[in-house]
């Protein structure tokens, strides 16, 4: 059974690659075939992700569905046991796998109406998705990094070719900053493998090394920033967040969705996988700094969003703010706080994906993202407005939607360890209400600007995606114990996490 | 039944889902479903009440909870607790909700999004019931936010109107500031006691688990939440603006139920407030200031609904004062009676608005009693109850509060008496200018006619309640209905007390009532404004100050525009220019420029490269020699 | 004794003609000096009693390579003297400096290193036969690779130097 | 007998002369000839080391053979390039062929 489940994971990262390969062979004029194939793959991956999430036993081992194939052994500096394709999920990655499935499927449907170089788009898209799955599944440092990069690099082309506003700038900045972060991670990886002296890249082995003192505290303190900053760039760590507003502004809709929805989580996930799990002592030493930066990010993003005039900039800054919460939650090193951070990753993922979906749907028709151009569009786009209000309320942290569940746990954790920062973080949530409602008021309500009287509401594809995302938000908001149950064991077993 | 009181909240919750999903396509857009649902919970309430009373005092509070989640030792249980306070709240909510639902059928006829209005109304009722049933602070907070959301949606029901959108936004954000405090308070409690359960928290506090300073700070945060929701100074600004919503909504949410959630919360946590140093004094001061300030403002408002709104704020202040004096029963009793007569007044105002085809400025009305006799009569009962005429509902509850404050000291009593006079004054003014005298605008008067049965029936019922609700204070009245006795013997903090009429207080109250009412009558009776005009011209600056609501709105506007948004612009600027253009783009530019400089080394001439190699070889050789030796 | 004198004469001659290669103003002269220099080094191999290498040196270097160079000179018409342009580039003085530095370094290292024992300076045991054995037994792979390299180089040379239609 | 250092010094001088030629001369063919000088110096070194330090083995000799072979290949290719250069740009001066730059 365990073995068979391991193959499920392998399928998860292999199927998108296979899809890319098949697409490569299709003639690019066959746009409908490309779309249907992609939709089918997306649906299969969604099913697979749901399976992984549901099949993860809350009461079982921390790591489940393991699969290990040796790859490079006894090779010089790579060491005795070297690199192996070691896959498996713990509670955190099971939840994020579910997120990936949902967002990727929604993104596929959204890209349905893409006309320009459809085939190329989907090839890159699937490569990216494969990278995401791979990162979540990998239990080997080398493959972790490999898939991490595989997820980051296609972004450059996806934004550069299919983007809009200042796309070259956005794509270049984003890629350079992320790759810059990767350099830090890479250095850290080699330092850890060398220092541990076990001749292996296997993550569980290295986690053990981090716990039992094979990696000295001094070493951990030095190396932790490499991981934290390297992954932090992708997670929108202040002040390395500026790729986020610009990147989101220029990215095409479905890329924005996947990027803000899933990719930013890779960063936070990396901090857990590499930072907290390999270097518990370093994590403990540096966590106050992470909390401070997270709090600054949360407040800073919220305050900056107050006066933005562009939809996507608001969402970009609000992402900075919300990822700030994730960092605060991780920084507490308290079981509830870390749980909250993980829930927030999921919550922010579906919520932002929904927001970008909706912005895209509007922008495709109206070709402006300036708030003040709009007014009263609830009249012509009721579904759109309802969906946006749901997303916005989740953003604000309204109970009943996922945002509250996540933020509440983070606040509880933060108050336990850093009360002042907890208070500031809650303040940021109040500011979120201000910028969200301001946008609602200006754009959705008030008298209808006659210029927009012929806007069309969501298309069927968009509606399906939106409903899927809203259901996810509601599920976590209303009944969150399926989520927390799966996380509990994993998080209590993280080194350094108190409860 | 009482342990399954959650059904009360579940029924309207379900109704909301059904109506939101299918409402538009239902016959009559589903208003019958709303009324049916309201009737059902009204009936269910009595089942709960009967069961509750049957079980007897020993079984109270009735608890029922399930495990929600657990992370390590962080356990979360969700459940309900039904005790006396809850029963009072349930009674108020279900009764007023039924009346408002019926009234709305008439009031909202032909309005846009009719079905949506009723759907959200059910959502509100569901979350309000959940709020009072919650046995833990977390569930309470969830419901607290949901009632805020419903309030937001209903205030902004006419979202085509810019002012409605602004009002909705203001209400949500202002209360949200308070909610932040509440959430902080809740989490601080968890941190100190490891539980969200209200009873357990009270237990912990009584055992002294939490240090004094810490407890005081926590309670201040909790109070912040209560002040936001109950529109206490300085958070009161959102409530008058909330009158942009449909009038039945104002009656239900912004007079009878949601705004008293703060009072409910303080009453619920009163044992903790008592132990938290000077927390109760703070509650009382807040209540007094609110009662006075908003009472004064209510005296000069000219919009019917605005007068009622400020009156509501003022009355909420009264309740806070009672709680601040430590009398849960007085506060809750005023909440109870106020809910009926204020709902009556708001619905009466709604009836006026419909009858006059959307006019609500007192300057345009007058002499309506001829055209709308039922509305006028019920409105009169409501006004008198509010003003405190013996023996209407408002009289008894206000008396209780005065009685409670008596023990605290001279000054609070004095200020409260002034507030009571003002209450009588603006009630008289409101009624006289709206219903008596000559019609100010014949055009409007000619169109005015009495409203239909769906609207007058709730008025009559509520008028009845406004008369009898006060009698619940009597021991015999209560026990006749099956309660252990009067209100004071049912809802109390430490000791039940049997109510005895204090005739000297009755006399004083009556004096206050007469002073206020006659002041109002003297100024306005007979449709004359010359006396009040003289008064205005005598002190124009004071009048301006009051008329402009002590410039609270302007102050906040200034703060938001200049400080908050200014700061936001600063941060955005910093983000663009300092972080992005200087930090990120700057490093890119530096790299670029360095490359620009270094590219000249790349001459393209082979000898130069050869030279570099040769120099390198020589240098490396020399270095290795130097190092080696 | 005689050998030593002879050796010194050759050494001085080699240095002189090599200097001629790099310093002479006419390319043809340089080429001729190069032939002499190569031949001198071949003689040095004879001093070291490795006649095989000396032979190879005479044949391949002195013969084939120099012929190739002369051929190239003729093809590029650089043998035709008379153009009054500078024969050294702008960096010649620095080049001289670096070369001088390199020379002193190399000589210094050669002189100052304590070489392990002097075994006579001849290779009596190494005959053409042993070279052949070594070459095909122990150095088979490099030999084959070198062969391939030569082949590729010649084909490449042909491709590069070929007169194309467009030219 | 001549001591080994003599050979080493001689090859050092030859090598340095070659370096000077490569660095200073403009004519491509001359640069090539200088390279030949350097290669020669190197193989002389190999053979000298072989003769003085390990006379029983042919390793040094083999190296010299390879050096000569590679030199032959190199000359062939380089001259082809020179011819090509001359044909395209009517010059064989290395410092005038400077298009491979920014």
State the smallest CA–CA distance between residue D100 and chain C in angstroms: 18
What is the reported pLDDT for B264? Answer: 92
Per-residue model confidence (pLDDT) at position A44: 93
- D23–B610 CB contact, under 8 Å: yes
**CB-closest option in B69, B173, B584 to A433:** B173
When divided into structural domains, chain A yields a total of: 1
Of B166, B565, B584, which is closest to A306 when you measure between CB atoms? B565
Span B308-328, mean pLDDT?
91
> Using CA atoms, how far apart are residues C70 and A246, in angstroms rounded to an integer?
64
Distance from CA of B595 to the nearest CA of C (A): 24
Task: Inspect the structure and tell me whether chains D and A have 3 or more CB pairs less than 8 Å apart.
Answer: no
Over range B615-620, report the average pLDDT.
90
C22 to chain B, closest Cα gap in Å = 15
Domain-located, residue C143: yes
Cα(B253)–Cα(B315) distance, integer angstroms: 15
A191: number of Cβ within 10 Å: 16
Block residue for tokens 């697409």: A23
The verdict on B624 touching C (C-beta cutoff 8 Å) is no
Contact check, Cβ <8 Å, B607/D95: yes
Show which of residues 32-71 on chain D sit within 8 Å of chain C, judged by CB atoms. 32-34, 36-37, 40, 43-44, 47-48, 50-59, 61-62, 64-66, 68-71
Q: Return the partners of chain B (3 or more C-beta pairs < 8 Å).
A: A, C, D
pLDDT digits (tens, 9 = 90+) for B429-474: 889 888 887 887 888 878 888 888 888 899 999 999 999 888 888 8
Q: Is the pLDDT of residue B293 over 80?
A: yes
Q: How far is residue B231's CA from residue B320's CA, in Å, rounded to a whole number?
A: 11
Q: What CA–CA distance (Å, rounded) separates B599 from B624?
A: 29
What residues of chain B lie within 8 A of the CB of A436, using their CB? none
User: Which residues does chain A have within 8 Å of residue B188's beta carbon, measured at their own beta carbons?
Assistant: 415, 419
Quick check: is A256 in a domain? yes
Q: Is residue A336 part of a domain?
A: yes
pLDDT at residue A20 greater than cutoff 70: yes
Of the candidates D5, D10, D94, which has its C-beta nearest C14's C-beta?
Answer: D10
Two tokens, residue B530: 């010359």
**CA-based nearest residue in chain B for residue D15:** B614
Residue A118 tokens, joined: 């459809």
Residue C64: the pLDDT is 82
DSSP per-residue letters across A332-368:
HTBHHHHHHHHHHHHHHHHHHHHHHHHHHHHHHHH--
Residues 6+ apart with CB under 8 A from D9: C106, C107, C110, C111
Q: What's the pLDDT tens digit per position in B486-515? A: 888 888 887 777 888 888 888 888 888 898
CA distance, residue B598 to nearest chain C CA (Å): 19
Cα torsion B609, B612, B618, B624 to 10°: value is: -110
What average pLDDT does range D48-61 have in this prediction? 83
B532-579 confidence digits (pLDDT tens)? 788 778 888 888 887 888 888 888 888 888 888 888 888 888 888 888
Which residue reads 């100010």 in tokens? B440
Q: How far apart (Å, rounded) are the C-alpha atoms in residues D71 and D61?
A: 15
Distance from CA of D61 to the nearest CA of B (A): 25
Range of the domain at A481: 2-492
Subunits in contact with chain C (3 or more CB pairs closer than 8 Å): B, D
Q: Give the HSE-up count for residue A424: Cα atoms under 13 Å, Cβ half-sphere.
A: 20
CB–CB contact B603 D98 (8 Å): yes
Of B611, B621, B622, the CB nearest to C95: B611
SS (H, E, C) chain C: CHHHHHHHHHHHHHHHHHHHHHHCCCHHHHHHHHHHHHHHHHHHHHHCCCHHHHHHHHHHHHHHHHHHHHHHHHHCCCCCCCCCCCCECCCHHHHHHHHHHHHHHHHHHHHHCCCCCCCCCCCCCCCHHHHHHHHHHCCHHHHHHHHHHHHHHHHHHHHHHCCCCCC
Q: Is C105 on the interface with B (CB under 8 A)?
A: yes
Q: Which residues contact D62 (CB under 8 A, 6 or more apart)?
A: C131, C134, C135, C139
Residue B389 clears pLDDT 80, i.e. is over it: yes
Please indicate whether, in this complex, the C-beta atoms of C22 and D25 are within 8 angstroms of each other.
yes
Question: Angle A167-196/B585-598 helices, nearest 10 degrees?
Answer: 90
**Residue C24 and residue C5 in contact, taking contact as beta carbons nearer than 8 Å:** no
For B172, the token pair is 């949500």
* CA distance readout (Å), A305 to A294, A433, B166, B567, B571: 16, 11, 19, 11, 9
- Residue B311 has a pLDDT of 92
The token pair at B511 is 């004096």
Nearest by CB to residue B568, choosing from A304, A408, A433, is A304
How many angstroms separate the CA atoms of D18 and A48, rounded? 69
CB A306 within 8 A of CB A191: no
Per residue in B193-244, pLDDT (tens digit) is 888 889 889 988 888 888 888 899 999 999 999 999 998 888 888 888 888 8
Distance in Å, alpha carbon of B595 to nearest chain D alpha carbon = 10
Tokens of B353: 């608005």
Decide if A133 contacts A160 (C-beta within 8 A).
no
CATH class of D4-89: mainly alpha
Average pLDDT over residues A246-255: 84
The pLDDT, as a whole number, for residue A167 is 82
- Is residue C99 assigned to a domain? no
Contacts of C107 in chain D (CB under 8 A): 8-9, 12-13
Residue D102's pLDDT is 62
pLDDT in tens, B67-124: 888 887 788 888 899 988 999 999 999 999 999 999 999 888 888 888 889 999 999 9
Instruction: Identify the domain containing residue C133 by its residue range.
Output: 129-167
Classify residue A497: in a domain, yes or no.
no
Query: Among A181, A239, A442, which would you mutate to test the B interface (most chain B Cβ atoms within 10 Å of its Cβ)?
Result: A239
Predicted TM-score (pTM) of this structure: 0.82
The helix/strand/coil state of A71 is strand
* Tokens coding B241: 């603006």
> CB B604 to CB D23 under 8 A?
no
Of C98, C101, C109, the CB nearest to B611: C98
Distance, in Å, from the CA atom of B104 to the CA atom of A63, rounded to the nearest integer, reads: 57
Distance from C-alpha of B108 to C-alpha of B248, rounded to nearest angstrom: 9
Of chain B, the end-to-end C-alpha distance in Å amounts to 97
Domain locations in chain D as residue ranges: 4-89
Over the stretch B1-23, which tens digit does the pLDDT of each residue have?
A: 778 888 899 999 999 999 888 87
Q: Collapsing DSSP states into helix, strand and coil, what is residue B238?
A: helix
* Alpha-helical segments (H) within chain D: 4-24, 28-53, 59-89
pLDDT tens across A439-493, in order? Answer: 888 888 888 888 888 888 888 888 988 999 999 999 988 888 888 888 888 888 8
- Flag whether D touches B (3+ CB pairs, 8 A cutoff): yes
Taking the CA of residue B180 and the nearest CA in chain D, the distance in Å comes to 60
**Burial class of residue A25 in the structure, from the number of CB atoms within 10 Å of its CB (0-12 exposed, 13-18 middle, 19+ buried):** exposed
CB B171 within 8 A of CB B152: yes
Query: For residue A498, is it within any domain?
Result: no
Query: Is there a contact between B264 and B215 (Cβ–Cβ < 8 Å)?
Result: no
Are C89 and D19 contacting, i.e. CB atoms less than 8 angstroms apart?
Answer: no
**A214 phi and psi, to 5 degrees?**
-65, -25
List C-alpha distances in Å: B598 to A346, B210, B594, B602, B603: 47, 67, 6, 8, 10
Nearest to A307 among B149, B180, B568 (CB): B568
The CA distance from C126 to D64, in Å, is 14
Q: Do C109 and B625 lie within an 8 Å CB cutoff?
A: yes
Q: Tokens representing A35?
A: 């779309």
Put simply, the answer to whether B71 touches A487 (Cβ < 8 Å) is yes
Cβ neighbours of residue A74 under 8 Å, at least 6 residues apart? A80, A82
* pLDDT given at position C49: 84
* Exposure string over A254-281, b if 16+ CB within 10 A, otherwise e: bbbbbbbbbbbbbbbbbbbbbbbbbbbb
Instruction: Kindly calculate the radius of gyration of chain A based on its CA atoms and give it in whole angstroms.
Output: 21
Percent of the residues in chain B that have a pLDDT greater than 90, as a whole number: 26
In B, residues 531-550, which contact C (CB 8 Å cutoff)? none
**Chain C neighbors of B622, CB-CB under 8 A:** 105
Same domain, C6 and C71: yes
Asked whether residue A37 is domain-assigned, the answer is yes
Nearest to C102 among B607, B614, B625 (CB): B614
Identify whether A215 is part of a domain.
yes
Task: Return the residue matching tokens 């170089």.
Answer: A117
Q: Evaluate whether ipTM surpasses 0.95.
A: no
Chain C, 20-79: which have a CB under 8 Å from a chain D CB? 21-22, 27, 30-31, 34, 37-38, 41, 44-45, 47-50, 52-53, 56-57, 60-61, 64-65, 68-69, 71-73, 75-76, 78
Transcribe A416-430 into DSSP letters. HH-HHHHHHHHHHHH
Closest CA to A417 of A284, A222, A237, A270: A284
C142: in domain:
yes
Q: Give me the long-range contacts of A377-380 (CB less than 8 A, separation at least 24).
A: A377/A443, A377/A444, A377/A448, A377/A449, A377/A452, A377/A455, A378/A444, A378/A445, A378/B159, A379/A448, A379/B160, A380/A448, A380/A452, A380/A453, A380/A454, A380/A455, A380/A456, A380/A457
- Number of structural domains (chain C) is 2
Q: Is the sign of the CA dihedral B295, B301, B307, B310 positive or negative?
A: negative
> Residue C78's pLDDT is what?
57
Question: Is the separation of the CB atoms in A127 and A150 below 8 Å?
Answer: yes
Nearest Cα residue in chain A from B146: A399
Predicted pLDDT at B459: 92
What are A382-416's pLDDT values in tens digits? 888 889 999 999 988 888 889 899 999 999 889 88
Q: How far apart, in whole angstroms, are the C-alpha atoms of residue B60 and residue B513?
A: 39
Is B471 within 8 Å of B561 (Cβ atoms)? Answer: no
- Mean pLDDT, residues B593-599: 88
**Residue B523 scores a pLDDT above 90:** no
What is the per-residue pLDDT across C24-48, written as a single tens digit (0 to 9) for each? 888 888 888 999 999 999 998 888 8
Q: How far apart are CA B320 and CA B300, in angstroms?
A: 24
Put simply, the answer to whether A481 touches B569 (Cβ < 8 Å) is no
Measured distance CA(A230)–CA(A186) in Å, rounded: 9
Which CATH number covers residue C39?
1.20.120.1200
pLDDT at residue A295, rounded to an integer: 93
**Residue A83: which region, alpha, beta or left (left: phi > 0; alpha: psi -120 to 50)?**
beta
Average pLDDT of chain B, as a whole number: 87
Residue of C nearest to D13 (CA): C103
Q: B-contacting residues of C 84-103, CB under 8 Å?
A: 89, 91, 94-95, 98-99, 101-102
Residue A246 scores a pLDDT above 90: no
pLDDT at C79 over 60: no
- Those residues whose C-beta lies under 8 Å from the C-beta of residue B322, and which sit 6 or more positions away, are B287, B330, B331, B334, B400, B401, B404, B405
Interface of B with C in 554-613 (CB under 8 A): 607-608, 611
The H or E element containing residue B41 is helix B31-55
B56 touches chain D (CB under 8 A): no
Whether residue C139 lies inside any domain: the answer is yes
């Amino acid at each position: 059974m365990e073995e068979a489940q391991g193959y499920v994971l392998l399928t998860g990262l292999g199927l998108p690659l296979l899809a890319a390969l098949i697409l490569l062979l299709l003639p690019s004029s066959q746009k409908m075939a490309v779309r249907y194939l992609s939709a089918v793959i997306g649906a299969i991956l969604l099913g697979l992700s749901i399976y992984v999430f549901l099949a993860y036993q809350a009461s079982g081992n921390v790591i489940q569905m393991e699969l290990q194939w040796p790859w490079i052994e006894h090779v010089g500096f790579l060491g005795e046991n070297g690199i192996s394709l070691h896959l498996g999920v713990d509670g955190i990655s099971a939840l994020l796998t579910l997120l990936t499935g949902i967002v990727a499927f929604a993104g596929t449907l959204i890209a349905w109406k893409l006309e320009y170089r459809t085939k190329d788009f989907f090839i890159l898209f699937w490569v990216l998705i494969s990278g995401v799955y791979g990162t979540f599944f990998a239990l080997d440092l080398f493959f972790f990094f490999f898939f991490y990069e595989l997820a980051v690099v296609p972004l450059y082309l996806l934004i550069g070719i299919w983007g809009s506003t200042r796309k070259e700038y956005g794509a270049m900045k984003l890629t350079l900053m992320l790759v810059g972060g990767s350099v830090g991670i890479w250095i850290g990886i080699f330092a850890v493998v060398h220092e541990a002296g076990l001749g292996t890249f296997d993550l569980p082995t290295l986690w053990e090394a981090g716990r039992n003192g094979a990696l000295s505290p001094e070493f951990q303190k030095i190396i932790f920033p490499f991981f934290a900053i390297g992954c932090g760039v992708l997670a929108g760590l202040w002040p390395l967040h500026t790729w986020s507003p610009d990147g989101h502004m220029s990215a095409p809709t479905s890329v924005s969705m996947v990027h803000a929805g899933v990719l930013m989580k890779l960063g936070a996930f990396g901090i857990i996988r590499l930072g907290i799990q390999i270097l518990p002592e370093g994590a403990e030493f540096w966590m106050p700094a992470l909390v401070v930066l997270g709090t600054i990010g949360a407040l800073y993003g919220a305050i900056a969003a107050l006066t933005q005039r562009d939809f996507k900039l608001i969402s970009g800054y609000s992402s900075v703010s919300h990822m700030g919460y994730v960092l605060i939650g991780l920084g507490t090193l308290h079981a509830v706080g870390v749980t909250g951070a993980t829930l927030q990753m999921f919550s922010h993922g579906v919520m932002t994906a929904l927001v970008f979906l909706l912005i895209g749907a509007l922008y495709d028709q109206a070709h402006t993202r300036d708030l003040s151009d709009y007014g009263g569009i609830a009249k012509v786009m009721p579904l759109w407005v309802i969906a946006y209000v749901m997303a916005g309320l989740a953003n604000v942290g309204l109970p009943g939607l996922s945002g509250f569940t996540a933020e509440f746990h983070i606040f509880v954790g933060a108050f336990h360890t850093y009360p002042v920062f907890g208070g500031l973080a809650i303040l940021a949530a109040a500011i979120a209400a201000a910028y969200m409602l301001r946008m609602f008021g200006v754009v959705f309500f008030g008298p209808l600007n006659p210029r927009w009287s012929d806007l069309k509401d969501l298309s069927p594809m968009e509606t399906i995606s939106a409903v899927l995302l809203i259901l996810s938000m509601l599920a976590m908001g209303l009944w969150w114990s399926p989520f927390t149950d799966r996380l509990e064991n994993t998080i209590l077993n993280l080194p350094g996490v108190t409860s | 039944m009482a342990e399954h009181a959650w059904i009360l909240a579940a029924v309207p919750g379900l109704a909301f889902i059904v109506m939101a999903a299918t409402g538009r396509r239902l016959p009559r857009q589903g208003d019958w479903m709303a009324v049916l649902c309201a009737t059902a919970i009204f009936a269910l309430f009595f089942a709960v009440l009967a069961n509750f009373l049957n079980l007897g005092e020993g079984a109270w509070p009735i608890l029922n909870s399930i495990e929600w989640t657990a992370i390590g030792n962080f356990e979360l249980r969700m459940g309900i607790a039904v005790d006396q306070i809850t029963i009072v709240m349930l009674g108020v909510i279900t009764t007023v909700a039924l009346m408002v639902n019926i009234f709305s059928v008439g009031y909202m006829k032909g309005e846009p999004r009719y079905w949506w209005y009723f759907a959200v109304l059910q959502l509100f009722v569901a979350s309000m019931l959940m709020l009072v049933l919650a046995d833990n602070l977390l569930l309470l907070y969830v419901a607290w936010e949901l009632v805020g959301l419903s309030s937001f949606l209903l205030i902004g029901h006419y979202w085509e109107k810019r002012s409605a959108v602004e009002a909705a936004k203001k209400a949500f954000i202002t209360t949200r500031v308070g909610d932040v405090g509440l959430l902080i308070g809740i989490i601080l409690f968890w941190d100190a006691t490891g539980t969200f359960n209200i009873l357990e928290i009270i237990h912990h506090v009584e055992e002294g688990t939490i240090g004094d300073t810490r407890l005081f700070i926590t309670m201040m945060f909790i109070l912040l939440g209560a002040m936001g929701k109950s529109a206490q100074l300085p958070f009161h600004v959102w409530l008058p603006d909330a009158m942009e919503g449909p009038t039945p909504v104002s009656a239900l949410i912004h007079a009878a139920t949601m705004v008293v959630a703060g009072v409910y919360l303080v009453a619920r946590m009163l044992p903790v407030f008592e132990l938290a140093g000077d927390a109760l004094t703070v509650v009382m001061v807040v209540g007094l200031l609110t009662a006075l300030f908003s009472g004064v403002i209510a005296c000069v408002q000219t919009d019917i609904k605005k007068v009622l709104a400020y009156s509501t704020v003022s009355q909420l202040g009264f309740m806070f004062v009672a709680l601040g004096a430590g009398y849960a029963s007085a506060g809750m009793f005023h909440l109870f009676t106020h809910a009926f007569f204020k709902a009556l007044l708001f619905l009466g105002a709604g009836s006026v608005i419909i009858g006059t085809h959307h006019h609500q400025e007192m300057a345009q009305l007058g002499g309506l009693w001829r055209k709308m006799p039922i509305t006028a009569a019920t409105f009169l009962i409501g006004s008198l109850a509010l003003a405190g005429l013996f023996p209407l509902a408002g009289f008894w509850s206000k008396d209780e509060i005065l009685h409670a404050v008596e023990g605290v000291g001279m000054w609070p009593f004095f200020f409260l008496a002034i507030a009571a006079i003002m209450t009588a004054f603006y009630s008289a003014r409101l009624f006289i200018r709206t219903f008596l005298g000559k019609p100010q605008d014949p055009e409007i008067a000619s169109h005015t006619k009495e409203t239909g049965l769906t609207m007058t029936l709730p008025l009559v019922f509520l008028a009845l309640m406004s008369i009898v609700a006060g009698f619940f204070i009597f021991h015999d009245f209560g026990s006749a209905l099956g309660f252990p006795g009067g209100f004071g013997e049912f809802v109390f903090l430490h000791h039940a007390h049997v109510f005895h009429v204090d005739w000297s207080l009755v006399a004083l109250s009556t004096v206050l009532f007469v002073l206020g009412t006659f002041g109002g009558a003297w100024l306005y009776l007979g449709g004359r404004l010359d006396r009040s005009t003289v008064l205005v011209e005598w002190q124009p600056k004071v009048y301006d100050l009051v008329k402009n609501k002590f410039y609270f709105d302007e102050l906040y506007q200034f703060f938001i525009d200049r400080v908050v948004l200014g700061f936001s612009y600063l941060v955005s600027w910093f983000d663009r220019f300092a972080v992005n253009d200087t930090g990120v783009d700057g490093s890119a530019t530096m790299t670029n420029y360095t490359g620009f400089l270094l590219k000249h080394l790349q001459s393209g001439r082979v000898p130069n490269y050869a030279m570099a190699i040769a120099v390198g070889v020589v240098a490396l050789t020399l270095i290795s020699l130097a190092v080696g030796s | 004794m005689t050998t030593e004198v002879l050796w010194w004469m050759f050494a001085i001659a080699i240095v002189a003609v090599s200097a001629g290669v790099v310093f002479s103003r006419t390319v043809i002269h340089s080429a001729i000096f190069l032939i002499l220099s190569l031949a001198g080094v071949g003689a040095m191999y004879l001093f070291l009693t490795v006649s095989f290498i000396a032979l190879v040196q005479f044949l391949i270097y002195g013969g084939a390579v120099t012929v190739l160079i002369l051929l190239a000179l003729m093809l590029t018409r650089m043998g035709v003297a008379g153009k009054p342009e500078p024969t050294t580039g702008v960096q010649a003085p620095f080049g001289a400096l670096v070369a001088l530095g390199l020379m002193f370094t190399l000589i210094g290292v050669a002189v100052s290193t304590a070489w392990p024992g002097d075994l006579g300076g001849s290779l009596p045991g190494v005959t053409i036969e042993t070279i052949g054995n070594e070459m095909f037994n122990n150095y088979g792979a490099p030999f084959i690779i070198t062969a391939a390299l030569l082949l590729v180089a010649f084909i490449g040379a042909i491709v590069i130097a070929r007169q194309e239609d467009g030219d | 007998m001549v001591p080994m250092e003599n050979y080493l010094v001689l090859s050092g001088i030859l090598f340095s002369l070659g370096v000077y030629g490569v660095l200073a001369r403009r004519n491509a063919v001359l640069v090539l000839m200088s390279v030949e000088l350097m290669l020669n110096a190197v193989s002389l070194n190999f053979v000298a080391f072989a003769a003085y330090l390990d006379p029983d083995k042919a390793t040094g000799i083999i190296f010299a053979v390879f050096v000569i072979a590679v030199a032959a290949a190199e000359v062939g290719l380089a001259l082809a390039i020179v011819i090509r250069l001359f044909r395209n740009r009517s010059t064989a001066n290395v410092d005038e062929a400077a298009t491979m730059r920014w």
